[in-house]
Structure 1
Amino acid sequence: MLRYTLMRLGIFVGCFLVVWGLVATGIVPAGIGGSYWLWIALLGLVVSAPISYIVLRGERDRASKKVVARVDRAKANMTANRTMEDDADDAARTGSAS
Structure 2
Amino acid sequence: MTLFTENVIEIIRNIPAGKVMTYGQIAVLAGSPRAARQVVRILHSMSKKHRLPWHRVINAKGQIALQDEESYQEQLWSLEAEGVEVGLNGVIDLEKYQYKPSEL
Shorter-chain TM range is under 0.3
TM-score (norm 1): 0.25
Query: Normalised by the size of structure 2, how large is the TM-score?
Result: 0.24
Judging by fraction of residues, say which structure has more helix.
Answer: 1
- Larger Rg over CA atoms: 1
